[in-house]
Chain A
């Protein structure tokens, strides 16, 4: 059996497509994924969004994100299908498992390092209430150099 990896598939459907057409499109994706023995982990419809530039003389598009598990051959087939379908204006398939794993790994390592550092200094592993409130006050004092909405939002 081939190796299964996690991928993200985003496609932009024509803005004038009906609900049934979108459902059918999703069904097509599901069939392909199924045929290769993969699974759809999650589907996130972003809905109708304004495009940053015109594609096929359209200013809007219906965005759908799918998170899939499956072999590499599956993505090749999905890619081909997406290119052929007229209803799909644009699509993107990328592999995500590696980067996401790396992210969680560095985050856990960082957290562990913080705890170790705190213990070495004779502090409790977690910041106390007092510390948190003080840190917050300091952050408010600063000139707001941080970026709004940073680190939030969907992934």
Chain B
């Protein structure tokens, strides 16, 4: 549910009819309920982090959901530049067994 919210706001539309329908419904719900939708901003840009190190597990873990996959940009809101850096950092951390490849 939450992901849908973020997505529709992010202007990520045009991704197929099914999602478009869900978006319409969501919007209505938002108006009625009036719940707050947070603007997605890149956390690394906000914190002014220029180098994402594979050693800072604490920084990386928020971008790894339970399954152990790398969270997509469309959900986390990370900018392209930092997502790339994050990706290499996560992959390096994985080879060093600091972060799991898969969890279930």
B-binding residues in A (CB < 8 A): 10, 12, 49, 51-53, 55, 61, 63, 65, 90, 92, 94, 99-100, 102-103, 106-107, 110, 145-155
Contacts and interface: CB of A to CB of B under 8 A. Distances in A.
A105 to B, nearest CB: 9
B92 A94 contact: yes
Contacts of A102: 50-51
B39 to A, nearest CB: 10
Given A150-B59, A151-B49, A153-B59, A53 B101 contact: yes
6 tightest A-B contacts by CB? A51-B97, A149-B58, A52-B100, A103-B51, A103-B50, A153-B56
A21 B101 CA distance: 30
A55 B100 CA distance: 11
Interface stretch (B7-15, B18-26, B40-48): B40-48
B99 A110 contact: no
B98 interface: yes
Interface in B45-100: 46-51, 53, 55-56, 58-59, 62, 92, 94-100
A124 B87 CA distance: 40
A147 B55 contact: no
A110 B43 contact: no
Given A53-B97, A90-B96, A92-B92, A146 B55 contact: no
Chain A interface mostly helix, strand, loop or mixed?
mixed
Interface residues on B, range: 20 to 34
Contacts, number: 65
B79 to A, nearest CB: 14
A107 B47 contact: no
A152 B100 CA distance: 22
Nearest to A104: B50
Given A53-B97, A53-B100, A146-B43, 6 more contacts: A90-B95, A147-B59, A150-B49, A150-B59, A151-B47, A155-B53
Given A102-B50, A103-B50, A52 B55 contact: no
Contacts of A53: 97, 100-101
Nearest to A110: B48
B48 to A, nearest CB: 7
B63 to A, nearest CB: 10
A147 B47 contact: yes
Given A102-B51, A151-B47, A52 B97 contact: yes
A12 B56 contact: no
